[in-house]
Amino acid sequence: MAEFFDPTMDETGLLTERIKSMMVENLMLKMTAGEIADDQPLFGPGSLGLDSVDALQLVVALDKNFGVKIPDPAAAKEVLQSVSTMAAAVQRKLTGPV
């Protein structure tokens, strides 16, 4: 079973950095984690320029690394807006009902 992020051991800033590193590694982005702004859109105009294949890879990575399940396209659209929205989903998962 995957080892999930523990909010008692890390702060929100460390969570966002971990998500950015996961993105750079899993999506093979040609940038560093430090070049990705927390609120930068992932898709669409003015974004990182991710596509639907990247979205699928993010869904799998969020489940594998943090136990966050994204059940449908509407949930994906909400969660995969930015690093901040992904971090919020991880925090909800960790603080919500099991």
Residues 6+ apart with CB under 8 A from 52: none
pLDDT (tens digit, 9 = 90+) per residue, 79-97? 999 999 999 999 999 887 6
Residues 6+ apart with CB under 8 A from 69: 63
Q: Residue 8 above 80 pLDDT?
A: no
Average pLDDT over residues 12-38: 95
Q: Is residue 54 part of a domain?
A: yes
Q: Is residue 2 part of a domain?
A: no
Helix, strand, or coil (residue 13): helix
* pLDDT at position 98: 55
Q: Is residue 45 part of a domain?
A: yes
Average pLDDT over residues 28-50: 95
Q: Is residue 3 part of a domain?
A: no
Whether the Cβ atoms of residue 3 and residue 42 lie closer than 8 Å to each other:
no
What domain range is 89 assigned to?
A: 14-26+41-95
Q: Which CATH number is 68's domain given?
A: 1.10.1200
67: nearest Cα among 23, 98, 21, 27: 98
Domain count, the chain: 1
pTM: 0.85
Q: Residue 11 above 80 pLDDT?
A: no
Mean of pLDDT over the chain? 89
Q: Is residue 46 part of a domain?
A: yes
Q: Is residue 8 part of a domain?
A: no
